[in-house]
Structure 1
Amino acid sequence: MDRISKLPPGIIETVLCLLPIQEAARTSILSKEWRYDWTKIPKLVFIEEDAFEVSTDGDDLSVLEQTFDRPSERKMMTNRCKLFYAIYQVLLVHEGPINEFTLCMPVDGSCVEIDHIIRHLSKKNTVKILKLDFNGSYRLPLSLFSFHQLTELYLNGCVLDHQPSSIGFGSLTTLNMQEIWTCDKTLLRLLSSCPLLKRLTINSDGGTIDESGDLTMADLFECLQGIEYLTVWCFIFLSFLPFPRKLPTTLVHLKYLCMECVCFCHIYALPIFVILIRSSPNLEKLKLVVTEDEVLDESYMGSSTLEDYSDISSEHLNELEILHLRNYENGLVFLKLILAKSPVLKKVKISLWDQLAKDEKFQISKILFSSPCASPVRKIIVS
């Protein structure tokens, strides 16, 4: 018997999990001992771009490949058909729990094959990490909300328009949503059903969040009292007007805040930042990603001064990062404000917009290095 076959089952399982599923299935031809090992791996990853190639030599076919009857059929099947067929066959012969499941493919609208896959996994009720990356607008089925063991959920290119009577996400600690089509009420219904949520990412750029008109920013953060790491598309907050001066719920656990698609010249930009800083007394790292397109209607333009926010402080902030900063007044006001109000700030990293003129870059750098700092910043990086 070879040395690999003598390895403990747990190590063999780990090795098989590192292989693409079609390669893991091919290990069934190695020996009788290996024939069914691949059917027990707890991590399944299916990506349409992966070539589900099949051998034409019948003696070398794995259990998975033998499900295709003739070489001509194997050759004519499209990648998508191969993918769905492979998933069905893997789920049919799989033994034991499936702890992690990933499906990545472009989908627009409904897809009954994916609906069946999600329904099957929800009935198995062992999945802890679910990643659905569709890069389109796939309408999620109701069965998604029956994954009672989920701890991590990643959604990309999905339509979320259900408001089920019950959502089984009581164990969810990580929720990552990219390019999501939903409404504010559905979003809050989902977040309020995740009492253990620690990490949240919401990026609706490419998607949309419809407004009902009767929910506020305070309602949103009432669902996020235990959040520790928050990454959010800045303009999502425009769905939750009006803004309070300070949130009624203090985000005492929030340590990391990343705001994407920041537009400093927008009239609501600085108020949003200040509200969150006022309500996050233990914030340690703040990251802002400035949008490349800051051309807005003049009715959304606004400016502020340091005096408008002189009462804020960030006692625990030790790292600040701003990407693609431009020479806008509000952006520089905010930068000076943070420097002046963060007594333990240790690292500042500023990445300037690459299309800025040299004199503009010099001006921003001069402001940064000459502005009063509440702490002796140990490391300042301007690029």
Structure 2
Amino acid sequence: MMSGRDRISQLPTEILDNILRLLPIVEAARIAILSTIWRDCWSNLTQLNFDDHFFAYVGKKYSASYNSTSTCMYVIDKVLMRHHGPIHKFVLDFKGDISIIGDGPNSRKFDFDQWFLFITQKGVEEMSIAFPIPINFEPNKCFRLPNCIFTCLTLKRLDLSGVLVAPTINAPCIFPNVTSLSFDGVVFGAINLDSVLDVPMLETLLFSRCENTTSYFDIKAPRLDSLTVKNYYIDDDTNVYDPILPINLDLSFIHTLCMDFNFTPFVVSELTRWGPKLNVECLELSYVDFQDDERFSDFIHSLRICPKLRELDITTVLFYGEFTKSILWEGVQSAAKMLKMLHTFKLRSFNGSRSELQFIKMLLACFPALEKVVIIRRMKSDPNEEFKIMQKLLHFPRASKKAKIVYR
């Protein structure tokens, strides 16, 4: 073996690309000066990630002599201009420092549009675009997503935050090959189409903190398998509410449903319109708070509308306020008569309270098909207390002898 031989540089191009992809883009650029081999890898890097690390580095290095906005834009321009190969993943995340984009994203709209047009012609498969979410979700202060993204044929995953979605393309189909779509703090604008927009390959869809979802974003997704709806603010005094989901979004085929429990009554009422056709097999609920009998009823109803449920995953169960335990017990028993296939229950952020233990005990006693119960504690506590909790769990009565408890 030759002494001092650079064996890393002799690795296949694909492996060198993987090495650079694991590094922050600033570090990847530094490695490019080592040799022509690394320089070629840099100019053909398949993943470009302009995130908080990148903007913080540029802002710190040039803060004394340059305008940080112009400098960041200049650097990104240069990287894209000198890039020669395909780009499979592109991340542009401005959420960390609002000052980076000065007077707002629309002040640099021409630059952004040119970047995205370039990226969509480079075989991109994943894109993450994040801008600061404007106060009161004002559309005129949001960056409007260009049509080239809606029509990109190679794009498979798209995560959006703080942008305006209002396609003006004259076609019934958008995101033709996207399988995963995430909207966080997105504003939907009026679409110049009379027909419902088709997202033909979509399998995973997330809505979080969105505005005008039902008014302007009317879509159908025949292959939709997973739906997440979270971080919505619902006024407690509201008796009449606007629908959260697009009217023509068929939910009869979704297998995974994730939602915040604080607005479960609103989501459940929308899901109920599909009746027995709902095929949810995995239900994930966040922050289930049992504060009164009405909340118990909401929880039981969310179970009953999923007759094919196989896995129930709950993050944080809170018991407070005045409630009737017998109502919850009767409700769980009635739900158990319908949920013949529920075999897995997960409880995250477990504190070991008496109410939580009683809740687990109730589920174990009511569901005959239950095979696995996973309890994930919030934090490590006194080993003696941990042992006592585990002993209690192991001695709970089970409707099925197959039921096993995993405590971690």
Q: CA deviation at 1:120?
A: 2.9
Of 155, 158, 163 in structure 2, the residue corresponding to residue 153 of structure 1 is 158
Segments of structure 2 that go 5 or more residues without pairing to the other structure are: 99-103, 135-141, 235-240, 378-408
CA distance in 2, matches of 1:88, 1:375: 58
Q: CA deviation at 1:89?
A: 0.3
Structure 1 residues 236, 188: closer, same or farther in 2, change over 3 A?
farther
Of 77, 93, 117 in structure 2, the residue corresponding to residue 104 of structure 1 is 93
CA distance in 2, matches of 1:187, 1:259: 31
CA RMSD of aligned residues (A): 4.5
Deviations 1:226-270 (A, max 9, x none): 1112212386995438999xx995733x22111135435x4x454
Query: In the alignment, is the contact (CA less than 8 A) between 2:214 and 2:244 conserved in 1?
Result: no
Structure 1 residues 188, 364: closer, same or farther in 2, change over 3 A?
farther
Query: In the alignment, is the contact (CA less than 8 A) between 2:59 and 2:72 conserved in 1?
Result: no
Query: In the alignment, is the contact (CA less than 8 A) between 2:163 and 2:186 conserved in 1?
Result: yes
Give the structure 2 partner of residue 344 of structure 1.
Answer: 341
Give the structure 1 partner of residue 278 of structure 2.
Answer: 280
CA distance in 1, matches of 2:194, 2:332: 35
2:178 paired with 1:172: yes
Structure 1 residues 32, 307: closer, same or farther in 2, change over 3 A?
closer
Give the structure 2 partner of residue 67 of structure 1.
Answer: none
Deviations 1:301-324 (A, max 9, x none): 798599989986623x22101223
Give the structure 1 partner of residue 260 of structure 2.
Answer: 260
Normalised by the length of structure 1, the TM-score is: 0.71
2:120 paired with 1:126: no
Q: CA deviation at 1:39?
A: 0.5
Structure 1 residues 306, 239: closer, same or farther in 2, change over 3 A?
closer
Query: In the alignment, is the contact (CA less than 8 A) between 1:150 and 1:169 conserved in 2?
Result: yes
2:17 paired with 1:13: yes
CA distance in 1, matches of 2:145, 2:329: 46
Give, as a single letter, the amino acid of the residue that structure 1 aligns with 2:201: L
Equivalent residues, number? 342
Q: CA deviation at 1:129?
A: 0.8
In structure 2, the residue corresponding to 1:375 is in which secondary structure?
coil
2:326 paired with 1:321: no
Query: In the alignment, is the contact (CA less than 8 A) between 2:170 and 2:193 conserved in 1?
Result: no
Give, as a single letter, the amino acid of the residue that structure 1 aligns with 2:307: S
CA distance in 2, matches of 1:363, 1:342: 20
Q: CA deviation at 1:97?
A: 1.4
Give, as a single letter, the amino acid of the residue that structure 2 aligns with 1:373: F
Give, as a single letter, the amino acid of the residue that structure 1 aligns with 2:287: V
Segments of structure 1 that go 5 or more residues without pairing to the other structure are: 56-70, 296-300
Normalised by the length of structure 2, the TM-score is: 0.67
Of 201, 205, 223 in structure 2, the residue corresponding to residue 196 of structure 1 is 201
Q: CA deviation at 1:18?
A: 1.8
Query: In the alignment, is the contact (CA less than 8 A) between 1:160 and 1:181 conserved in 2?
Result: yes
Give, as a single letter, the amino acid of the residue that structure 2 aligns with 1:17: R
Structure 1 residues 362, 134: closer, same or farther in 2, change over 3 A?
same
Give the structure 1 partner of residue 32 of structure 2.
Answer: 28
Structure 1 residues 79, 311: closer, same or farther in 2, change over 3 A?
closer
Of 60, 66, 71 in structure 2, the residue corresponding to residue 82 of structure 1 is 71
Q: CA deviation at 1:172?
A: 0.9
Query: In the alignment, is the contact (CA less than 8 A) between 1:21 and 1:44 conserved in 2?
Result: yes
